[in-house]
Chain A
Amino acid sequence: MKPPSLGAILLGLIPFIATCFSVSLWDRIYPIVFGLPFNFFWLILWLLLTPLIMWGAYRLEEPRTRGDRDKQDGAG
């Protein structure tokens, strides 16, 4: 199979760095943001940011694989 593009992989690494490896930086209560302890706020924020980043990866990947697509696409 064609491996994914480097750009898409790098984009995919961002959420891993932000929410996995950096845990000791953000796992704390203060500062409280929107009433949430910082760790809860941080992870909830990344629930929203991850789709944005992966949308970027989608934009990078989709044109490369267009040739593989031969069935009509639809939503349902």
Chain B
Amino acid sequence: MSSSAVALTIISILVAIGSLVGFLARSHHRMDLEQWTVGGRGFGLVFVWLLMAGEIYTTFTFLGASGWAYSKGGPVLNILGFQPLMYVVSFFILPPVWEMGRKHKLQTQADFFQTRYNSVFLGALVALIGVICLIPYLQIQLTGLGLIVEVASFGAIHRIPAMIIGLGVVAAFVSVSGVRGVAWVSLIKDVLLLSAAVFVGFAIPRIYFGGIGSMFAALIQAKPSHLVMPGTTKDLGHTWYITTVLLMSCGFYMWPQYFAASFTAKNARVLRRNAVIMPLYSVTMPLMFFVGLSAVLVLPQLGNGDLSLLSMVRKTFPAWFLGIVGGAGVLTAMVTAAIQLLTGATLYAKNLFRPMLAPSMTDQQVARVAKMMVLVLTVAAVSLAMYTSASLVSLYLMGSAGVAQFFPGVVLGLFSRRVTTAGVFAGIATGIFIVVTLIWTGRDPYLGWNAGLVALCSNFVITGLVSVLTPQRTPAGNETVPESL
């Protein structure tokens, strides 16, 4: 068999095993909306950890981390900066979010806004922004999936058919198995990806330089400026680092899928413990940096930095190993895409479609609309991925900066009595407006600041001002405002 046939066969086998596990995972559970979206709220520490690690450490994280280390150098350290800090933030906000979730049977992020602020329109706005921000994120997973297959097949299979097949499997798998299936597949992909990352991260510097220390010594001699900020860039210096790390650590859990993952926990303690241990998982990130940095000296002519990890693996190891790494990457992309589809579809059906168009729908009908929406989102993401190839990073950044605008509404909603619905509306609108204006006109970073943080600060100010100026709406029943507020 040729190298590409070996690699592709192994990838297909891994994907088949993963999908099978996902389909089987549902067998003991009746699939109502509650089970499909939040796993019946019964996940313990291990399952929540798997689900969150499965969602957070995406193909893009791994390809992108080595890619940034390769193409930008020092600024890649922002990933190591924000990852532990976003768990610190989650330690404080997810347990009370879970508490509200249990009390009011919340399933989505938009449910949270709708219930806390007693406004279906705010819920619908949050759902709309969430779905729009999810589509480019979904598209990124697909592109990652396509890249892997393209590299593994040595260019024989184009990324478009690969994406379509991959996404077809994901869509089927999501419709059938829901969040529990995703958590199980996540287990397989975590084991594979983790062992592949650890092995590759140590082996590649060792093979080419004799070790990680010698790799750095060689790089310090050849290109010392690559290792500190701003690296090869002009504008990603220390101010950018601080503002980006702040934005990402506040904004990360505002992604609707990560926010909703907290509802799957069986109690708040699981989420706290999870927040304590999660930073340890980030230890794999520097290993990805080492691969990207090795590539700076070994493969200096790569056009696309995101290919540095896969190209190094292909150059260094036999085809079957490329198959394992590629298979882990494809499964990762599938898990992530699955959870994004699940979240986007539920948000649409439950918080946009039902309240706006068909208020009398039952939960069962909502579940049916959500499953249909899985298909719609799939098609939307594939067509986007087909027609726009450039600036994935900027789409991702815009999405992250966009969802970060929910942060004031969540934090103030949890801990402040004084914040009003009008305040949160005005804050989100201001934040989104600034994000879109600054990023679309190419002003990110703006005066050295991460544009998303500029928007977030303005958002906080406007939320506060408008809340002070508007009267508090008396909630319909005391149920809608969290206890002891």
Chain A, interface residues (CB within 8 Å), range: 35 or more
SS class of chain A's interface: helix, strand, loop or mixed? helix
Q: Using Cβ atoms and an 8 Å threshold, which residues of chain B touch A28?
A: 228
Q: Using Cβ atoms and an 8 Å threshold, which residues of chain B touch A46?
A: 84
If A27-B228, A47-B80, A48-B280 touch, does A2 touch B484 (CB 8 Å cutoff)? yes
B81 touches A19 (CB 8 A): yes
B22 at the interface (CB under 8 A from A): no
A43 touches B77 (CB 8 A): yes
A65 touches B44 (CB 8 A): no
Q: What distance in Å separates the Cβ of A4 from its nearest Cβ neighbour in chain B?
A: 5
Chain B, interface residues (CB within 8 Å), range: 35 or more
Q: What distance in Å separates the Cβ of B157 from its nearest Cβ neighbour in chain A?
A: 36
Q: Using Cβ atoms and an 8 Å threshold, which residues of chain A touch B83?
A: 47
CA distance A75 to B42 in the complex (A): 11
CA distance A75 to B238 in the complex (A): 41
A73 touches B269 (CB 8 A): yes
B84 touches A36 (CB 8 A): no
Q: Which residue of A16, A40, A58 contacts B77 across the interface (Cβ within 8 Å)?
A: A40
- The number of residue pairs between A and B whose CB atoms lie closer than 8 Å in the complex comes to 151
B286 touches A50 (CB 8 A): no
CA distance A56 to B483 in the complex (A): 27
Q: Which residue of A32, A37, A44, A73 contacts B270 across the interface (Cβ within 8 Å)?
A: A73
A47 touches B88 (CB 8 A): no
B residues at A contact (CB < 8 Å): 44-47, 74, 77, 80-81, 83-85, 87-89, 91-92, 95-96, 99-100, 211-214, 216-217, 220, 224, 227-229, 238, 241-242, 245-246, 249, 266-270, 272-273, 275-277, 279-280, 282-283, 286, 289, 414-415, 482-485
A residues at B contact (CB < 8 Å): 1-4, 8-9, 12, 15-16, 19-21, 23-24, 27-29, 32, 34-37, 39-40, 43-44, 46-48, 50-51, 54-55, 57-58, 61-62, 65, 68-69, 71, 73-76
Q: A12-B89, A23-B241 are in contact. List 12 more A-B contacts (CB 8 A).
A: A1-B483, A8-B91, A29-B227, A39-B228, A43-B81, A47-B283, A54-B88, A68-B99, A68-B268, A71-B266, A73-B269, A76-B44
